[in-house]
Structure 1
Amino acid sequence: MLRTVNRVLLGLVGLALLVLGGSVLATGLGAPMPSWWMYDGRGDVLLSDADRVRWRDAGWWWPVVFLVLAVVMLLMLWWLLVQARRGRLFEVLVDSGDGQGALLRGRALERVMVDEAEVLEGVQRAHVTLTGRRSTPEARVDLLLEAHAEPAQALDRLATDSVARARDSAGLARLPAEVRMRAARHRAQRVS
């Protein structure tokens, strides 16, 4: 969902900037604009002297400007933190049976899953990233398959061997995995 919100938000901001910038450029080049448009022609400026000094004597103007800019900055920082937070999972909560639980480093579990995936037949290279919450992790697995590999067989072996073993060893009820496969580039073989 966050990916969709990001794309829609960036698309809307980009479209608004494109329309505004294109209209300013078209007006500057002398293109005719509708009568309701904010700029009249080539000699028009974005902010006239009257617009710039209109609110100078109002005591509320500058506090409102700084408040709006502060709110915009806080929203941007919040968005940046949300983007950074959704990346990699640093710890996985393992049920140790004593009610407290233990913490397993996420990179350690990722490394074990990579090592087990790379020994599977047909897998040239693997990359695993754990996401989600520490009590309910999810795995993103990228596989680079060799030229002769069968994708269905590699996926089945990954699910039954690597992912299942990681799930069982961490004591997790479930470990959903999103797997992306690519074929390794190779030269064509000559047939004689």
Structure 2
Amino acid sequence: MIATVNRVLLGLAGLILLVVGGAVLATGLGAHVPSWWPFEGKADVLLSKGDRYRWRDQGWWWPTVIAVLAVLVILALWWFLAQLRRARLAEVLVDSGDGEGATLRGRALEGVLGDEAGSMDGVSDAKVTLTGRRRAPRARVRLLMEPHGAPDRALRGLSEKALEHARTSAGLDELPAEVRLKAVRHRAQRVT
């Protein structure tokens, strides 16, 4: 989700800067501008003295300015902290039955799941990344398929064996997975 938010924010900021900068540049170069445009020509300033002091005496002005700036600061802090958040899950909480619970290192579960998925017939390599929350992890699996590998058998084996073993051993009710398949690059074989 954060990647989508980053792209949208970057796109919006770029679009706004491009439109406003282009319009101000066109006005400064003496191009004809519509009547509603706030700048009229080369000698015009961005904010006149009257514009700067227009709402200063109004009771609503300063609370509105402070509220808008506070919202912008909160959104900027949220965005900054979201950048620092880990994409990988560091640990998974396992119900040990004694009420205390236990923790399982995320990298250990990723390694075991990747090794088991990589040992399936038709799979050259498997990379696993755990995401989500400690009590509800999700797996992102990338399978590198051999030329003779069948995707349906690989997905069935991953679901029925590797993911089921990981789910059972970690005591999870469910372990949703997003699987991406990629073919191994290989040279064409010549038949003589």
Q: Give ranges in structure 1 of 5+ residues lacking alignment.
A: none
Length, aligned pairs only = 189
Deviations 1:40-61 (A, max 9, x none): 234434345x379748x98x99
Compute the displacement of 1:179 (Å): 0.6
Alpha-carbon separation, structure 2, partners of 1:190 and 1:134: 51
Alpha-carbon separation, structure 2, partners of 1:77 and 1:41: 39
Identity, % of aligned positions: 62
Alpha-carbon separation, structure 1, partners of 2:150 and 2:4: 32
SS at match of 1:30: coil
Compute the displacement of 1:183 (Å): 1.6
SS at match of 1:115: helix
Compute the displacement of 1:166 (Å): 0.6
The worse-fitting range, judged by mean Cα deviation, of 60-69 and 138-147 is: 60-69
Alpha-carbon separation, structure 2, partners of 1:31 and 1:184: 57
Alpha-carbon separation, structure 1, partners of 2:186 and 2:46: 56
Compute the displacement of 1:33 (Å): 1.3
Q: Give ranges in structure 2 of 5+ residues lacking alignment.
A: none
Alpha-carbon separation, structure 2, partners of 1:158 and 1:123: 10
Residue 73 of structure 2: aligned partner? 73
Cα RMSD (Å) of the superposition?
3.1
Alpha-carbon separation, structure 1, partners of 2:25 and 2:184: 46
Residue 178 of structure 2: aligned partner? 178
SS at match of 1:127: strand
SS at match of 2:111: helix
Say whether residues 1:110 and 2:110 are aligned partners. Answer: yes
- With the length of structure 1 as denominator, give the TM-score of the two structures: 0.79
Verify the 8 A CA contact 2:2 2:82 in the aligned structure 1. no
Compute the displacement of 1:34 (Å): 0.5
SS at match of 1:187: coil
SS at match of 1:41: coil
- With the length of structure 2 as denominator, give the TM-score of the two structures: 0.79
Structure 1: which amino acid aligns with 2:18?
L
Say whether residues 1:142 and 2:111 are aligned partners. Answer: no
Deviations 1:83-115 (A, max 9, x none): 443622111111111111111111111111111
